């Protein structure tokens, strides 16, 4: 999927299409995960004191998974917006290009490795 950039750090049209497809696929997968989690959360057992501890744990775990999936969806949508604006693949802190390998693993990342490691 390599992100090739021209001299002005802008993505070429072909790269932009490839990145968009990757992000849209990731968005679709994450939306499917969210839908499955929401289905699991529709059924909540009614337990008395000391009963259903494993089910309550599973319920709480699914709530955390839903929150994570929702955050990922927002992040992917923001990456698609950056792609539309021509800022995709640039670190939001230092403005340098994000390594293509990092974008391949985390297509919705907003930080280069150096800024991510610095905790910026």
Same domain, 82 and 25: yes
Instruction: Quote the pLDDT of residue 96.
Output: 95
For the chain, the average pLDDT equals: 84
- Where is mean pLDDT largest: 16-20, 37-41, 66-70, 102-106? 66-70
What range does the domain containing 98 cover? 89-120
Global pTM reads: 0.76
Model confidence at 39, pLDDT cuts 50, 70, 90, reads very high
Closest by CA to 76, choosing from 33, 44, 109, is: 109
Examine the domain organization and report whether 22 and 81 are in the same domain: yes
DSSP state, residue 111: S
Backbone angles phi, psi at 10, to 5 degrees: -95, 145
The answer to whether residue 8 sits within a structural domain is no
Same domain, 25 and 79: yes
Do residues 60 and 22 share a domain? yes
Domain shared by 21 and 65, yes or no:
yes
Please choose, from the candidates 78, 69, 87, the residue with its C-alpha nearest in 3D space to the C-alpha of residue 29: 69
């Amino acid at each position: 999927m390599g992100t090739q950039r021209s001299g002005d750090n802008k993505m070429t049209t072909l790269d932009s299409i490839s990145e968009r497809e990757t992000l849209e696929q990731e968005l679709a997968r994450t939306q499917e995960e969210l839908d499955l989690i929401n289905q699991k959360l529709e059924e909540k057992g009614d337990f008395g004191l000391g009963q259903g501890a494993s089910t309550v744990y599973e319920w709480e775990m699914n709530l955390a998974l839903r929150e994570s999936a929702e955050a990922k969806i927002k992040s992917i949508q923001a990456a698609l917006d950056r792609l539309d604006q021509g800022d995709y693949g640039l670190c939001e802190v230092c403005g340098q290009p994000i390594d293509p390998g990092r974008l391949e693993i985390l297509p919705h990342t907003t930080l280069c490795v150096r800024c991510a490691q610095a905790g910026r």
